Amino acid sequence: MRYRTLGLTGIEVSAHCLGTMMLGSVGNPDHQEGIRLVHAALDAGINFVDTADMYSAGESEEIVGKALQGRREDVVLATKVHFPMGQGPNRGGNSRRWITQAVEDSLRRLRTDWIDLYQVHRPDHRTDIEETLSVLGDLLRQGKIRAFGCSTFPAEQIVEAHWVAERRALPRFRTEQPPYSILARGIESSVLPVAQRYGMGVLTWSPLASGFLTGRYRKGGTIDLSSGRAALHPHRFDPALPVNARKLEAVEQLVELADELGCTLPELAVAFPLAHPAVTSVIIGPRTVEQLEGLLKGASLVLDDAALDRIDAIVAPGTNVYHPDGVWTPPALAPSARRRPATERAAAEAAADR
């Protein structure tokens, strides 16, 4: 396993990061199997483990905490805060009040005294970024976290956070965790260049594009919209919709390329993000040890310029064939924020109103 420095933190992390969203009730509820999965990843040379408080309502953190007993010193442990963790208006978000409580809850579930990378899972338009940076800086000084970063922040908000940190003499985001895959390349135009500009480490998620790059969904094949992820979000999988037909068309071309390279489609998909110079580590989120082993088979795959040119021809750089699942939508894009009242949309008043 190859290791890379996580931004300017000086922390060395594996080029593959074990994502644990599938550990717990949402994915694999068997704690012993989850522990075995984590151990298999560590034995394969992965030293970077990413989780979040909201994964299976904290259960993922609990499984990771059990798995790291006796091996904590050798692991770079990352978790996240933001999404609601229970009933009540103040049980989520990026406020000092919530982060102060949430970090203690995560430390307890993870059975550790410190978190190596504490990430703000999404932006929070209700909370001043100075408030968030301030409390994260306090946690650094208290030794409860070693570094902090953001996840799925748009480029302009990353820039704002760095500007506020400099202006107020506060610690700054050291990492960004964006979605990135062959089918979702939008971050190449701004997020990745901004991360490079500020010396941020980048750990990317969803390299398999919500399953479209596993080979499970093929053009002309039957897609079961009544089970699994497709049942939760049928509009993202229904082949009758043009946006999904475009995904399936791209998949067919990528399968052909993978065959020519002598690799599987998932191996091609996971290797792609690592070719970008801004990317530090790619998060892989297997549900079983077998899935992990399948992904690790392609760990040494090198995509040459010819292969990357072929990918560029299938999905143009800086574009999204679709918007990745779960991406935060800026409040400014809500219809109510983009549309004036109907009576104010014309350049002149109607004659009857004069």
Task: Give the active site residues.
Answer: 55
CB 24 within 8 A of CB 291: no
Distances (CA, A) of 351 to 341, 342, 345, 347, 354: 18, 16, 15, 12, 5
| Six-digit token string for 262 | 């002598």
Residues with Cβ within 8 Å of 288's Cβ and at least 6 positions away in sequence, in order, are: 28, 33, 37
The one-letter code for the residue type at 154 is: P
| Residue 27 falls in which region: left (phi positive, over 0), alpha (psi -120 to 50) or beta | alpha
CB 171 within 8 A of CB 150: no
Count how many Cα atoms sit within 13 Å of the Cα of residue 25 in the half-sphere of its side chain.
Answer: 5
Of 105, 34, 38, which Cα lies nearest the Cα of 75? Answer: 38
Print burial letters for 27-57: b (CB count within 10 Å at least 16), e (below 16): bbeeeeebbebbebbbebebbbbbbbbbbbb
